[in-house]
Structure 1
Amino acid sequence: PYVAKHADKLCVVRSMTSNFSEHTTANYFLHTGFGQVGRPSMGSWFNYGLGTANQNLPGFIVLNGGLIPPGGLGCFSNGFLPAAYQASIFKYGTK
């Protein structure tokens, strides 16, 4: 109900381009900034660089509706960073 107050600050991206010719590599690039498997995701880098305000909660989470994205779960991977920086994946809509 309060979105209208902030609508002037929103940005909607309806299309994008990439130098990659297929969805798997392009999606991996979107999440990691690199086109090859083995690099940390953006969430892992943020968690690594900024830390966490609460050690009892995951550094970052992924809300997943049950589908694995093109690029696989590596899109949310910690890559070469320690395992503590990997995403916690939550499947919403289940009990």
Structure 2
Amino acid sequence: MPSSCIIFDTGPIISLTTNNLLWLLEPMKKKFGGEFYITPSVKKELVDVPLETKKFKFEALQVLDMIERGVLKIVDQKAVKDEGYKLMQIANQCF
């Protein structure tokens, strides 16, 4: 994982998409200077499942476009868990 990254859960992406603000991710990513990631389970919830329904298909296509253009990247969940464990160990040894 790069030194500067943000890992998104479904909530912020859903909020941006339903408020027609998903386009903001690209300029935010450029200003941030790092990577924006989602996990495979987040992709499943945001894209894979909604593409099989009518209700949120349009929103799923918008998120899929962000993934295909590289604005959002998919990160391995094990890497996230390992990094979280390292941070927890550091935090627990501070005092």
TM-score range, shorter chain: 0.3 to 0.5
TM-score (norm 2): 0.34
Whose helix fraction is larger, Structure 1's or Structure 2's?
2
Question: Which structure is larger by alpha-carbon Rg, 1 or 2?
Answer: 1
TM-score of the aligned structures, taking structure 1 as reference length: 0.34
